[in-house]
């Protein structure tokens, strides 16, 4: 499969997805958006330097080290300068992707001590794997070149707590709660705190879903171009513990 500056070429990606010429013509608006996204993804940065490839293990190490700095109060706040802002205005090459909870207390860039353009972050209540989330992560991986996805849950997650409680919920709140209930069932009756047990189980469950839901991501995992792992964020200490 050909790659442009380390990323999948549009023609090969469409072929990979099985999209023919007729389908493209019939969805001109969607194709136009895709072209725009590809242009952003593949345009060189203003610094003139191409991004250096980073392996899944190296990406994970960088996140772990960044979180360690955050916990110790030694943040370096990298890639947050005006120059970096200008560089990422025309291109993005995130080295890792995060599927995290929408909870306002868990901002990924701060937690992992990263900056502009470093992380591709998808946030859903309960860090659940939805079709939209999967599509976004496929884009981050196949087009932007991210080789690591971290499913990041957190202590005392309200969405998980609601799934454990099991009461009817108003509006569409129950939609993501239903996505968590299979994980809750896995640890039902287990000793310890029911919510915290379910938080860990939900991370592991969502990791499994993400690995098995997308043909694209599965293939990249098999080729050694992608790793999907899970982690739990401690609201009290700021530490991320890897779970899988």
pLDDT of residue 50: 56
Whole-angstrom distance, CA of residue 117 vs CA of residue 97: 11
Q: What percent of the chain has pLDDT over 90?
A: 76
Residues 162 and 169: beta-carbon distance below 8 Å: yes
Give the confidence band of 58 by pLDDT, cuts at 50, 70, 90: very high
Q: Which of 13-17, 94-98, 160-164 comes out lowest in average pLDDT? A: 13-17
CATH 3.40.1050.10 residue ranges of the chain are: 53-242
Q: What's the chain's average pLDDT?
A: 84
Which residues, in sequence order, are CB contacts of 231 under 8 Å at separation 6+? 150, 151, 152, 153, 203, 240, 241, 242, 243
Q: Quick check: 37 pLDDT over 70?
A: no
pTM of the model: 0.81
Which residue did the predictor score with more confidence, 183 or 46? 183
pLDDT of residue 234: 98
Residues 169 and 178: beta-carbon distance below 8 Å: no
**CATH superfamily label, 53-242:** Carbonic anhydrase (3.40.1050.10)
DSSP single-letter state for residue 153 = E
Give the confidence band of 49 by pLDDT, cuts at 50, 70, 90: low
Give the confidence band of 39 by pLDDT, cuts at 50, 70, 90: very low
Average pLDDT, integer, range 48-68: 86
Whole-angstrom distance, CA of residue 225 vs CA of residue 228: 10
At 120-175, the pLDDT tens digits run 999 999 999 999 999 999 999 999 999 999 999 999 999 999 999 999 999 999 99
At 171-191, the pLDDT tens digits run 999 999 999 999 999 999 999
Average pLDDT, integer, range 92-98: 96
Which residues, in sequence order, are CB contacts of 41 under 8 Å at separation 6+? 7, 91, 92, 143, 144
């Amino acid at each position: 499969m050909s790659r442009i500056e380390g990323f999948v070429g549009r023609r090969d990606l469409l072929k990979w997805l099985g999209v023919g010429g007729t389908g493209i013509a019939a969805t001109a608006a969607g194709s136009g958006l895709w072209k725009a996204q590809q242009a952003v993804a593949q345009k060189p940065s203003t610094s003139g330097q191409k991004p250096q490839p980073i392996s899944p293990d190296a990406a994970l190490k960088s996140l772990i080290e960044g979180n360690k700095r955050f916990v110790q109060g030694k943040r370096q706040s990298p890639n947050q300068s005006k120059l970096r802002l200008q560089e990422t205005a025309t291109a993005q090459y995130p080295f890792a992707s995060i599927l995290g909870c929408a909870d306002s207390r868990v901002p990924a860039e701060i937690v992992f001590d990263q900056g502009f353009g470093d992380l591709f972050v998808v946030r859903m209540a309960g860090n659940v794997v939805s079709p939209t989330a999967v599509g976004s992560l496929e884009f981050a991986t196949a087009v932007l070149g991210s080789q690591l996805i971290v499913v990041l849950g957190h202590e005392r997650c309200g969405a998980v707590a609601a799934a454990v409680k099991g009461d009817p919920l108003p509006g569409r709140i129950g939609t993501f709660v239903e996505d968590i209930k299979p994980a809750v069932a896995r640890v039902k009756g287990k000793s310890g705190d029911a919510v915290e047990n379910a938080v860990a189980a939900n991370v592991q469950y969502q990791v499994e879903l993400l690995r098995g839901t997308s043909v694209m991501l599965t293939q990249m995992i098999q080729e050694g171009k992608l790793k999907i792992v899970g982690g739990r964020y401690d609201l009290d200490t700021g530490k991320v513990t890897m779970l899988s």
